[in-house]
Structure 1
Amino acid sequence: EPPHIRKLYGADSSNKDKVAFAENCILARRLIERGVRFVQLFNGAYASGGRINWDGHFNLKEQYDVHGEILDQPVAGLLKDLKQRGLLDDTLVVFATEFGRMPMFQVGTYGRDHNPHGFTTWLAGAGVKGGTSYGATDEFGFKARENILTPHDFHATILHLLGLDHKKLTYYHNGIQRRLTDVHGHVVKEILA
């Protein structure tokens, strides 16, 4: 890659973990350019050989302070690069985790326990309305209170953006056809462009 692209992603940094993630983001863009339909990036213990961990049970500040520098520029660079190459219109970027963290310290530590009741994910590109925020938690950040989404809704929306009708995507289990989005999942039209 030319120096200006490496700089865009932060691959010229002195932080080796940032460089590693930036180079993975560049590789993801290259795969997308060549028509690979699904690309997954990882960040955290897997990517760092176990040194950098998202599992913030013990010391959230110490564990999470490192992530901003490693993630921000490479992810922003990936989005900007996809857009300037005309690829973001056809590429759905999903930034997600399976749960958030409690708003209060875990007993006996400076960490926080898992919180499946209120957390953030984001989507960009292919059919997503930019600059949109959807949903809100209570005043403590503990539980979703407004425009509550389930994993089924999230999956239905992603499948819709991929051009699949989630109601027709079924599998046979225990004598019945079932949907990945169950009977409750719905496409969140408010975030669609």
Structure 2
Amino acid sequence: MPGNPAISAPMPIALFENRNSDPLILRIDPAEQDYEIPPLATLGVRYTLREGTEERSHASMSGNRIFFWCDSDHEVDLVLPCPADRLLHDLCVVEGCCGHYFDDEDVYRHVTHLLPKTGTVTAEEFAMLALQAEGDTPDRKGYAAGFERIKALFLHHMGAPAVPAEQLEGNYAQPFESRDHG
């Protein structure tokens, strides 16, 4: 029975996320195509499976290079991080403010749990909420220095002393979403 032309061949998507501070290079072979994946970005490779063949793609990594074997027609889509993604990454990785488990309340808190959903958030409010999520208090030695460092991170990544709360939401898009749905 012939195949239905309305049903297209399966198109798997391989995702490559860079959670490092330096760019990664993705090499697609045998096409010998190189793509840079910036820090905190996600690159997707969507490819067509040839009718009657088995899935034979594979990936390996060496240093800051990823080698992906994909011997079929393919396309690439890159999703870049937004300023809030970079801010939250540096808040955790650079400042060590990754949240805190509060035993007395049996709850884990991160600054994202404390941010308002609407309105404006200032650099000062963000720094205060980040330290509050850590269980830190203004009377602790070192609080003021941490407050200033986090405030500076906010200014650096958000580019302003205050932003709409909606701009502090991360970019949860996936490769090919915008191409497929709009």
Does TM, normalized by the shorter one, top 0.5?
no
| TM-score, normalised with respect to structure 2 | 0.25
Higher helix share: 1
Structure with the greater alpha carbon radius of gyration: 2
Higher strand share: 2
Q: Which has the higher contact order (CA 8 A, sep 6+)?
A: 2
